[in-house]
Structure 1
Amino acid sequence: MRRKISKELLKWKNLSARKPLLLQGARQVGKTYCLEKLGKKEFQNYHFFDFMENPSLSQIFEQDLQPERIIRDLGLYYDHDIILEKDLIIFDEIQQCPKALTSLKFFSQKSPNAFIAASGSLLGLGLSDEPFPVGKVTRYKLYPMDFEEFLEAIGQKRLISILNSATLNSPVNEAIHQKIWLYYKYFMITGGLPEVVKRFSEKIDTLSEAFSETRKLQQELLKDYIDDITKHSGKIKAVRIDAVFKNVPIQLAKESNGVKKFVFKNVLPNASRYSSLEAPIEWLIKAGLVIKVPICNKAELPLQAYSDEKRFKLYMFDVGILGAMLGLSPKTIFSYDYGSYKGYFVENLVLTEIVSQLNKQIYSWNRNMAEIEFLLDYETDIIPIEVKAGVSTKAKSLSVYKQRYSPKVSFLLTGRPMLQTKSALVQLPLYMAPKLENYL
């Protein structure tokens, strides 16, 4: 599977001097795969050290944190000849060995020509007691696969070419739009976790089997995420975190007219205030399992100054896991006819696409009866993005927003194939959410 982040990893490799690389992300998004692919493709030799699979590796970091001694002992332990300035050295699941994480600081200072790459879950790194090597590592964040990565993984490169060549003057025609939309619905079912996409791709010739196997794997992964909550937080805290985690999809699915503010009441017994839920919510954000979108009452820079910590939306990190948590069958999702779910489901998918491309905090705007799903702080501008699950192009809230703030550009994403611009409004199909930056 080709991941877009591979280009960034290659740039890092080609630097004349480099800091250690730290690839972060939620579990199961493909961090290990990306680093091993870099090693296989770009280096004559690479050495892989997995701290989760082999906890005894941590002992090598107990004596001291001197790079040459660490590499020497790792080579002796595995009977490898490691050339520090030629070979790629991968520290996988580095959150399992806090001292290995700290050692990256010394690799940065004493071995700037070394190729040290580490992967770590957002959760484990966020909970570590060891000091983080701030300023001493090059950090990248990996998200679930986006729609283009999904298309390539299932052998639809030609559709990617069509998306890349589409312009305001030459949009996708209706026939091709219907084909792309078919695969977009598949993507709603699978989400972007690589293992799920791979399973779907292997079974796609028999669609009923593909749907069944996909959902079965999603349920297994969901159990793993829930087990992680207990593993990393303890039984008492886990009950609260698990309750919040399972409540996010429920609240998303309640509204037929878009996602509303996350409501604190009835999530936990005898807890109806933000203060009671703040810790579990922040835990889930650190773990990369939910995405927080603050709601602004004013669309001015800096957006953070006009948001209230108690007013926000919560979305799931992956739309495939979202469908599994709600018990929405793949056939139901594929039919694109599931009542109030449809609006929020697409909204969640669009958000994950935007976040994966721009890696920025996304906001929302709400005033009186007008609401803009997403606000993007881009350079010196604030970009409003309205999302419509169907083919309607009526955008009352966007009109209200434009009259009030006169944005340089605004976006309307719908189920139509249309690409057009009028009065600083760019209208795009939903599946082109990863390409918003091309029109800024």
Structure 2
Amino acid sequence: MLKRKIEAEIKTWYDIKPKHNALLVMGARQVGKTFSIRRFAEKHYASVIEINFERTPSLRSLFDGDLDGRTLYERLSAAGLGTLIPGQTLLFLDEIQACPRARTALKFLVEDGRLEVIASGSLLGIHFKEDVPSHPVGYEHRLDMHSLDFEEFLWAMGIGESTIEQVRINFENRTAVDSYIHKRLLELFQRYMIVGGMPRVVDIYTKDQNIQDVIIEQRNIVGGYKDDILKYAGNLQLEVAKVFDSIPDHLMERNKRFIMAHVEKDARFRDFKDALAWLRSARVAEFCFNVSAPIIPMGLNAKNNIFKFFMRDTGLLCQMSLGNVQQAILAGDLEVNLGSIIENAIADLLVKRGYPLYYYDVKGRLEIDFLITRDFKILPIEVKGGKDFRNHNSLDRLLENPVFSIDEGIVLCRGNVEQDGRVFYLPLYMVMFL
């Protein structure tokens, strides 16, 4: 079974006593929300009542009419879904986006206090903008769940905690990683780019490492995303589908900037603004905004109509891309033609680390792949997949500019840990520690 970090976060919520809010776990489809919640519940509760509103839509009627805690408790008891033990029973409301009134009811279930409640769902940011009669403000604790990050992938591939901890020490002390471990982790990072982090896909890969089986399952997930667009995007169906299908093509461009005319001839930003927001809310893709200057806070300097648009799982991006990119990656061909795949992997892993994404592009004369705020300072990051990773003119010029007073820059590359003045070369896999 795959080890997931989210379970430690759920445990932190669980340990808040004597009374805590309902837990709302949000994430894209297929990232493992249901499995992780079930596994946690089995270990920590005497009984569990699970309702999946997509699988059993008839149970939505439990939340019709009055929503006071006593009434809801009595209805759940009468429904015969399991034993209710005050203080020891978890009510797990899965796919809660399919029952907006259940989201409203969280407040009253928390106030009643006899049941602990965990809700989860996909597309929550989309559904609950309009459909929820009343948001349970102050009564829910939210967690975002993602597909597996690279550290979780390493766990799945049998890499021990002691190895990861030693590499973490190398990162913190800026010392070289043991050559065998470095080579092994680079190989696994290449495989992570192909496989991605969707739990079902990772599980398939760990069994026999058959890439064709991986691609088949990824194709199923991408197909599920397209079904969701048809089912949930409403009058944005056509625009969302066009944007989704165009993501690989945009990332294959030299500067990877999202260009509306590549989606549809003569299209403008306002024509597809809502479609882009839909995909971000569904946690399928993420914006990386250009900034006018690398100055804190970067959000105030972001150009909201100039951006890159990255897939939230690089394995799915590989499946959607034309050409046999999987074999090229396995062969170690990470030069310019696959730079978009590497950059997408870094973008996704930075988001999983909690960073909003920004980049800096001055009319093509100077471009920094990513800017993050770390320890209250701007940290510029260049991503280099090829052998020329020591060629970074843009980063050098940025560090030399006294206006911005940036202390250091990072080059994520295939090389080992190394320092050259104010530039640190770190292996691609060390993004998991940033």
Structure 2 residue identity aligned to 1:157: G
State the shift of 1:424 in Å.
4.6
Distance 1:247 1:335 in 2: 26
Which among 303, 307, 310 is matched to residue 302 of structure 2? 307
1:366-385 correspondence runs (5 A): 366-368=361-363, 369-378=365-374, 380-385=376-381
Identity %: 29
Q: Name whichever of 101-110 and 16-25 sits farther off.
A: 101-110
**Equivalent position of 1:272 in the other structure:** 267
Kept in 1: contact 2:53–2:98 (CA 8 A): yes
Q: Which amino acid letter does the alignment assign opposite residue 302 of structure 2?
A: S
Contact 2:287/2:310 (<8 A) preserved: yes
Instruction: Provide the C-alpha distance between the structure 1 equivalents of 2:208 and 2:240, rounded to a whole number of angstroms.
Output: 35
- Residues 253, 340 of structure 1: 8 Å contact kept: no
- Give yes or no for the alignment of 1:396 onto 2:393: yes
Taking the aligned partners of 1:31 and 1:376, their CA distance within structure 2 comes to 28
Secondary structure of 2:167's partner? helix
Pair 232,408 (structure 1): closer, same or farther in 2 beyond 3 Å: same
Query: Contact between 2:148 and 2:197, CA under 8 Å: does it hold in 1?
Result: yes
Q: Aligned to 1:199, which of 196, 204, 210?
A: 204
Task: Tell me, in whole angstroms, the C-alpha distance in 1 between the residues paired with 2:360 and 2:221.
Answer: 33
> Residues 341 and 48 of structure 1: is their aligned pair in 2 closer, same or farther, counting only changes over 3 Å?
farther
**1:421 CA displacement:** 4.6
Q: Cα distance, 1:254 vs. partner?
A: 2.3
Confirm or deny: 8 A CA contact 1:240 1:268 kept in the other structure: no
Count of residue pairs the alignment pairs up? 423
Which digits, 9 at most, give the CA deviation of each residue in 1:53-92, with x for residues without a partner?
1111110100221223223322321342212422222111
Report the CA distance between 1:94 and its aligned residue.
0.5
Q: 1:185 aligns with which of 182, 190, 206?
A: 190
1:107-139 per-residue CA deviation (whole Å, 9 max, x = no partner) reads 34443x742111011355455421432332111
Q: 1:106 to 1:299 in 2, by over 3 A?
A: same
Distance 2:69 2:195 in 1: 42
Residues of 1 paired with 2:393 and 2:115: CA distance? Answer: 55
Matches within 5 A, 1:134-149: 134-149=137-152
Deviation, 1:395, is 2.1
1:244 aligns with 243
| Distance apart, 1:245 and its partner CA | 0.6
TM-score normalised according to structure 2 size = 0.92
SS of residue paired to 2:316 = helix
In the alignment, which residue of structure 2 is the partner of 1:432? 430
**AA at the equivalent of 2:398:** Y
SS at match of 1:265: helix
Equivalent residue letter for 1:119? S
Q: Secondary structure at the match of 1:321?
A: helix
Deviation at residue 400 of structure 1 after TM alignment: 1.5
Corresponding residue number in structure 2 for 1:103: 105
Structure-2 separation of matches of 1:378 and 1:177 = 25
5 Å matches for 1:282-293?
282-293=277-288
Cα root mean square deviation, aligned: 2.0
- Comparing 423-432 with 344-353, greater Cα deviation is found at 423-432
Q: Structure 1 residue 298 and structure 2 residue 293: aligned?
A: yes
1:160-186 CA deviation, whole Å, 9 max, x = no partner? 344334343642122221111221111
Task: Tell which deviates more after alignment, 4-13 or 379-388.
Answer: 379-388
Q: What are the superposed Cα offsets for residues 305-353 of structure 1, whole Å, 9 maximum, x if unpaired?
A: 2122211111111001000101443323312326533211111101111
Report matched runs for 1:30-429 at 5 Å.
30-111=32-113, 114-123=115-124, 124-130=126-132, 131-157=134-160, 159-167=163-171, 168=173, 170-204=175-209, 210-234=210-234, 237-255=236-254, 259-269=255-265, 271-329=266-324, 330-337=326-333, 340-358=336-354, 360-368=355-363, 369-378=365-374, 380-391=376-387, 392-404=389-401, 405-418=404-417, 420-421=418-419, 423-429=421-427
CA spacing shift, 1:380–1:184, aligned 2, 3 Å: closer
Q: Which residue of 2 aligns with 1:207?
A: none
After superposition, the C-alpha distances for 1:372-416 in whole angstroms (9 at most, x for unaligned) are 111113453222222111242232211122122222443221111
Q: Which moved more, 1:64-73 or 1:294-303?
A: 64-73
- Is contact 1:362–1:377 with CA below 8 Å preserved after alignment? no
Unaligned runs of 5+ in 1: 205-209
3-state SS of 2:410 partner: strand
Contact 1:29 1:143 survives alignment (8 Å):
yes
Secondary structure of 1:49's counterpart equals strand
1:339–1:383 CA distance, 2 compared to 1 (3 A): closer
Identify which range, 297-306 or 153-162, moves more after superposition: 153-162
Q: Is the 2:47–2:89 Cα contact (8 Å) retained in structure 1?
A: yes
Paired with 1:132 and 1:375, the residues of 2 have a C-alpha distance of: 34
SS at match of 1:166: helix
Checking the alignment, whether the CA contact within 8 Å between 1:152 and 1:160 is kept in structure 2 is no
Secondary structure at the residue paired with 2:230? helix
1:364 CA drift (Å): 0.9
Would the aligned equivalents of 1:215 and 1:324 in 2 still touch at CA under 8 Å?
A: yes
Give the unaligned 5+ runs of structure 2. none
Aligned amino acid, residue 381 of structure 1: K
| CA distance, structure 1, for counterparts of residue 152 and residue 93 of structure 2 | 25
